[in-house]
Structure 1
Amino acid sequence: MSADALAHLDAHYQGMPPVRALQLSIESFDGERLRLTAPLAANVNDKGCAFGGSLASLMTLACWGRVWLGLHDEGLDCDIYVADSRIRYLAPLYDDLHTEAMLAEGASWADFVAAIRSKGRGRIDLAARVDLPDGRPATTFDARFAAILRPPAG
C-alpha cells in the first residue's frame, strides 16, 4: 500500500469536523489490518474513561478505511457505507484508544470485489476491537459494509 493512499485516507478523515475532533491518526496498514489511534484526552467521558461514542466512531472509521484502502488497491472507486453494526462494551478504557480493523472471519474479499465488478455493488463483513493495555478487549465491533461503484467521471 502506498504512502499516498494512506495520506489520502488521512485527509479524508480530517476533512470531517466530527472525525477531526477525535484527533485520530493512522498507526499502520499491513495490507490486512488497519490500525488507528486517538488520545484519551480528546475522547474522555464524565467517568474519566473512553467515551462510548468515540470508541464506536473510531472502530467504524477503521473498518470504513480498511474497505477504502482495499478497494483503492483494486482500482475501484466506490461509495462505502456502514450497513449495520454491533458493538460490545466489555470494560472501561482509561488509556489512549487503539483500534484494529480487519475482514471478519469467513469474509471473502475476492467475492466482495467480484460482486462489485459484476453488479456494481457488494457487501463485506468486518471486525474491529479496542484493547485494554493488557491486551484484553475493551470493545468489540462487528459490521457489514456496502460498497457501490461510482460511475466513471466524464
Structure 2
Amino acid sequence: MSAEEALQELREYCRGMPPVAAMGVEVDGFHDGALRLTAPLSANVNDKGNAFGGSLTSLMTVAGWGLVTLKLRLAGLKAEVYVADSQVRYLAPLYADLVADAMFGEGQSWETFLDTLVQRGRARIQVDARVVLPEGGSATTLVGRFVAIAKR
C-alpha cells in the first residue's frame, strides 16, 4: 500500500467516526515521521471563544491513533489500535484552527513494536502529540501509550 493510499484510508476512517466527523477533522498529511490533523475552531469552540479542551485532547488522541494505524497499514499489517492511557497538559488558549502533530516518543522503536506485534499478537508504543499555536509553541501536549492487537 502506498503512503497516499494509506492516508486516504485514514481519511475515510475519520469520516466514518461520528464524533471525529462532527469535529471537522481532516488528515493533513504525513511528513518527517509526524502525522498532522486539523480541525476548524468554529466546530470546536468553547464559551470563551477559544478551542474547547475536550476537542484539543480528542484531536491529539485521534492523531496518535492515526499515526499508529497509518504506519501499520504501510507495514502491511492489520491490527486494532487503542489508546491505553495518556497525560495531557494545557499550556495556552488557542484562538485559531486546531493543528495537531503526532510522532513516536523519543527512544521508541517502531521495529521493536512491529516485532513484538508479530510475535505476541499485541504491542504498545508511546506517541507524543501537540496542538500548535499559530505564533509557535504548543497550546496543548499529550503523551500517550497506544496498543495494537493483531487481527487474526
TM-score, with length taken from structure 1: 0.96
- 2:12 corresponds in structure 1 to 11
* Identity score, percent: 53
Task: Name structure 1 gaps, 5 residues minimum.
Answer: none
- Give the Cα separation in 2 of the matches to 1:119 and 1:133: 42
Q: CA deviation at 1:133?
A: 1.0
- 1:36 corresponds in structure 2 to 37
Q: CA deviation at 1:30?
A: 2.1
**What count of residue pairs does the alignment treat as equivalent?**
151
Three-state SS of the structure 1 residue aligned to 2:118 is helix
- Give the Cα separation in 1 of the matches to 2:126 and 2:136: 23
- 1:139 corresponds in structure 2 to 140
- Give me the CA root mean square deviation: 0.9
Q: CA deviation at 1:134?
A: 1.0
1:98-141 residue CA offsets vs partner (Å, 9 max, x unmatched): 01000001111111000001111100000000111111111000
Q: CA deviation at 1:28?
A: 1.0
- 1:47 corresponds in structure 2 to 48
- Give the Cα separation in 1 of the matches to 2:41 and 2:136: 17
Q: How does 1:20-35 map to 2 (within 5 A)?
A: 20-30=21-31, 32-35=33-36
Q: CA deviation at 1:31?
A: 5.7
1:54-82 residue CA offsets vs partner (Å, 9 max, x unmatched): 00010000010000111111111001000
Amino acid at match of 2:75: E
Three-state SS of the structure 2 residue aligned to 1:45 is coil
Q: How does 1:5-154 map to 2 (within 5 A)?
A: 5-30=6-31, 32-151=33-152
Three-state SS of the structure 2 residue aligned to 1:107 is coil
Three-state SS of the structure 2 residue aligned to 1:95 is coil
Please list every run of at least 4 consecutive aligned residues from structure 1 whose deviation after the TM superposition is greater than 6 angstroms: none
Q: CA deviation at 1:7?
A: 1.0
- Give the Cα separation in 2 of the matches to 1:4 and 1:76: 14
Three-state SS of the structure 2 residue aligned to 1:130 is strand
Amino acid at match of 1:34: L
- Give the Cα separation in 1 of the matches to 2:123 and 2:17: 25
Three-state SS of the structure 1 residue aligned to 2:56 is helix
Amino acid at match of 1:40: L
Task: Name structure 2 gaps, 5 residues minimum.
Answer: none
TM-score, with length taken from structure 2: 0.97
